[in-house]
Amino acid sequence: MDTTNIAKQMIAFQKATFNNTFNAMVLLQEQTEATMESVLKQFDWIPEEGKKAIEDWMGAYKKGREEFKKLIDSNFEKVEAAFSGKSGAKK
């Protein structure tokens, strides 16, 4: 068996697994965010500073999630390039 093909298949499997898991996590987080926004609108007794803190927290969480995804995608590209023999792979 060709070890390069096995490695490529393993990488493709890991990438697909990561993407599916990540997308499921995103859906869960977006549903939670929508629920929190609904709760914040309904509860008038929560002070504006508290609402702002929660909104900032949700924004930071989303930004961190997007940066994490970009980093993972970039590293998958590097690994795929290394096994495909492209000269763009960095060591």
* Tens-digit pLDDT profile for residues 36-66: 989 888 988 888 898 899 889 999 999 999 9
**Count of structural domains, the chain:** 1
Residue 14 lies in a domain: yes
Residue 12 lies in a domain: yes
Residue 89 lies in a domain: no
Residue 91 lies in a domain: no
- In terms of pTM, does the model score above 0.75? yes
Residue 88 lies in a domain: no
Q: Which two tokens stand for residue 88?
A: 């763009």
Domain extent at residue 7 = 3-83
Instruction: Give CA–CA dist 78/1, Å, rounded.
Output: 24
